[in-house]
Amino acid sequence: MLNIESHVSLKPYNTFRIDAKARYWVEITCEEDIHTLLQLTDFVDTPKLILGGGSNVLLCRDFDGLVINVNIQGIEVIRADDDHTYITAGAGVNWHKLVMFCVEHGYAGMENLSLIPGTVGAAPMQNIGAYGVELEQVFDSLTAIHIQTGEKRTFSYADCAFGYRESIFKRELRDQYIITNVTFRLDKQPIFHTRYGAIRETLAEMGVSDDNLSIKAISEAVIHIRRSKLPDPAEIGNAGSFFKNPEVPKPQFERLKAKYPVLPGYPIGDDVVKIPAGWLIEQAGWKGYRTGDTGVHTKQALVLVNYDNATGNEIMTLARQIQQSVLETFGILISPEVNIV
């Protein structure tokens, strides 16, 4: 039996802790709930917002429609072959819980994605990534239900059209499907990714060498790094990295490198270089900035924060100011990673 509530505060359901209101709100715990909901004639034409963990969204207004909170649980090993183990997880499963499940059972590939907030269902939408690994590297398929027709569809890797913090669900199929579960392909023999960020340094501080390297050690190193740099949403409202790391042509990077010798960059192929947006924001003078209840985190300039009662529009105003400042300083337009509603 679905319990559709009205005039619900979304503050507990988004990590920015923005006190926007939903005209209607419902929690979905299984596929049957979705089909039941889609058959309710009173809500056929009602605008709908799909909300998982609310860790990658900025609410700039009340939502005059139906917010669907997807809370489908379950983690299951479905098959294995000589090289891989395949795991299906419900869309409402906490992402870090899934990563810990894989690490504890020796299923490799997700360890660099430890402690990323949010749910399994949101992960492929965003093609989440961290420390040299992106979700698409462990993705096999997902199941989703079309909001208008109720049709159930399986999406393959190719169907999802993954890009950097992008997928078909953020572009052509935006707001058209409810993801119900995701299947991942994990390695039986790990391929260690330790070159990005401070992973090698942190592993050395932990006393871990190449001889005793493991996916558990990498996961613990990533968790340590994230906790030392990123604010806990339970303490300070935030959505993690607010901006994407920009990708620029190699000649442009080389010109900037000549002007700013310590500019970091990570080559992507032969002609493109990824630059950390946090470095650009910090160099433009925004790290630790605060106005009212809105600000830039003191330890990580990539994170915008809500200290208490900031509105979504106040945070978005700050974001635009930072974008303009970075553009004027470096000639690079940084784009939001979070979804703006």
- C-alpha distances out from residue 185 to 79, 82, 91, 123, 157, Å: 10, 12, 16, 14, 11
Burial class (CB in 10 A: 0-12, 13-18, 19+), 250: middle
Active-site choice (17, 165, 185, 226): 165
Asked if 34 and 178 touch (Cβ cutoff 8 Å), the reply is: yes
Q: Which of 123, 12, 230 is nearest to 102 (CA)?
A: 123
- Torsion 90-234-312-284 (CA) sign: negative
For residue 241, indicate whether it is catalytic: yes
Cβ neighbours of residue 292 under 8 Å, at least 6 residues apart? 310, 314
Cβ neighbours of residue 69 under 8 Å, at least 6 residues apart? 13, 25, 26, 27, 28, 51, 52
Which helix (H) or strand (E) segment holds residue 222: the answer is: helix 215-229
Active-site choice (55, 167, 219, 241): 241
- For residue 319, report the phi and psi dihedrals to the nearest 5 degrees: -60, -45
Q: Give residue for tokens 């891989």.
A: 84
Residues annotated as part of the active site: 165, 241, 337
